[in-house]
Amino acid sequence: MTLALALEQLLNGLQLGVMLFLMAAGLTLIFGVMGLINLAHGSLYMVGAFACATVAAWTGSFWIGLIASLVAAAAAGAIVELVVIRRLYDRDHLDQVLATFALILMFSEGTRWLFGSFPLYLDIPPLLQGAVALPGGTEYPVYRLAIILAGAIVAFGLYLLISRTRLGMRIRAGESDREMIGALGVDIRTLYTVVFALGAALAGLAGAMVGALQSVQVGMGEPVLILAFVVIVIGGIGSIKGALLGALLVGVTDTMGRFLLPKILALFVAPAQAGMIGGAVASMLIYIVMAVILAVKPRGLFPAAHA
């Protein structure tokens, strides 16, 4: 194993982590502020990817598609909040899970109805095609570096938004005492819609960026949703900082596990066996990490102040 390979794998882990952060940030924000478990967050990711693929196919520009993905996911999020989610805040978590699970089914079948079952084509924009040389003599895809950069910008933007703006102040207030900020005259309903749309837009952005790298298809959001839940549970539900660290931890653990475990096992058993067992254990690794972290810190790494 060379240093170049290890560096490349580390970047891969970071990139996966950044993508998970975009998903987890919205999820944890919504849970932190509204106390809502939103299983349909993966559907908003899918909406972003489909919007980007469709608009990019119409206009020929990935960038217009990317903007469309933000708009479409935010709009879908706002509509869902106004029509369905709003009625769920006072219900218990089981009702929320049921209702948002129903939303997943509706989004999936609706998308299939509109776009069919075959994956859509969405390519990486010409500007970000290809690979660049890294120190150590290896190459790395430009687009993955761009995802890491975009994630860093979003993380910094969210930090500024939450710590420096009035909206951020209200979000923080909402996290620590929902009734009180309502009593202080803040329009809590609008705040909820805005937060939900913001979380949806982040999911849509992640969907569009990843869509160009993977395949844009119905049901693409659910595997990511599961990972995003792992992230926020590790990070501490409701904490953006926790989501960031949790996402990077999960991203790097997953990538390094897939890469290193078969190699380590190959020292003891035949390569074919090592590949099979290593692959199986690697797919469990993040859950093992989650279990260990929860055993030590039952409320995650950075538990939100209230809860």
Partner 1 sequence: MKKMLAAATLALSVGTTGMAFAEPLKIGMITTLSGGGAGLGIDTRDGFMLAIKNAGNKDITVVTEDDAQKPELAVQIADKMIQSDKVDVLTGIVWSNLLMAVAPSAVAQGKFYVSTNAAPAALAGANCNKLYFNAAYQNDNLHEAMGEYANKGYKKMFILAPNYPAGKDSLTGFKRYYKGQLAAEVYTQVGQTDYAAEIAQMRASGADGIFVFLPGGMGIAFMKQFAQSGVKIPVMGPGFSFSQDVLPAIGDAAIGAKASGQWAPDFDNAASKKFLADFQKEYNRLPSIYAVQAYDAAQLIVAAASKASVKNAAAFGAELKKADIQSPRGKFKFNTNQHPIQDIYLTEVVKQNGVITNKTVEKIFADHGDAYAKDCKI
- Cβ atoms of 208 and 214 within 8 Å: the answer is no
Structure-block tokens of residue 252: 């790097």
- CB nearer to partner 1: give 130 or 157: 130
Euclidean distance between CA atoms 192 and 138, whole angstroms? 46
Query: Residue 65 half-sphere exposure, CB side, CA atoms within 13 Å?
Result: 28
Q: Specify the residue, 129 or 165, whose C-beta has the smaller distance to partner 1.
A: 129
With CB under 8 A as the rule, give the number of residues binding partner 1: 52
Check binding of 61 to partner 1 (CB under 8 A): no
Q: Is the CB of 3 or the CB of 292 nearer to partner 1?
A: 3
Among 165-173, 229-237, 274-282, 290-298, the segment contacting partner 1 (CB under 8 A): 274-282
Does 175 contact partner 1 by CB under 8 A?
A: no
232-261 binders of partner 1 (CB under 8 A): 255, 258-259
- Regarding 118 and contact with partner 1 (CB under 8 A), the answer is yes
| 101 interacts with partner 1 by CB under 8 A | no
9 contacts partner 1 (rule: CB under 8 A): yes
Q: How far is the CB of 164 from partner 1 (least distance, A)?
A: 34
Torsion of CA 131, 134, 137, 139, to 10 degrees: -20
Output b/e per residue, 233-264; b: 16+ Cβ within 10 A. Answer: bbbbbbbbbbbbbbbbbbbbbbbbbbbbbbee
Q: Which two tokens stand for residue 151?
A: 């994630």
Asked if 121 interacts with partner 1 (CB under 8 A), we say yes
Residue 118 carries which DSSP code? S
Q: Judged by CB under 8 A, does residue 283 bind partner 1? A: yes
Closest CB to partner 1 among residues 112, 189: 112
Q: Does 43 bind partner 1 (CB under 8 A)?
A: no
**Could you tell me the smallest distance in angstroms from the CB atom of residue 56 to partner 1?**
12
**Separation CA 41–CA 45 (nearest Å):** 7
User: Which of 237, 225, 238 minimizes the C-alpha distance to 44?
Assistant: 225
Shortest distance, CB of residue 57 to partner 1, whole angstroms?
11
Asked if 112 is part of the footprint of partner 1 (rule: CB under 8 A), the reply reads yes
Closest contact distance (angstroms) between CB of 129 and partner 1 is: 7
Q: Residue 259 in contact with residue 9, Cβ under 8 Å?
A: yes
Q: Which residues, numbered 195-224, are part of the site for partner 1 (CB under 8 A)?
A: 210, 212-220, 223
Are 38 and 100 a contacting pair, CB within 8 Å? yes
Contact 76, 200 (CB under 8 A): yes
Residues that bind partner 1 (CB under 8 A): 1-2, 4-5, 8-9, 12, 15-16, 108-109, 112, 117-121, 123-124, 129-131, 138-144, 210, 212-220, 223, 255, 258-259, 262, 271-272, 275-276, 278-280, 283
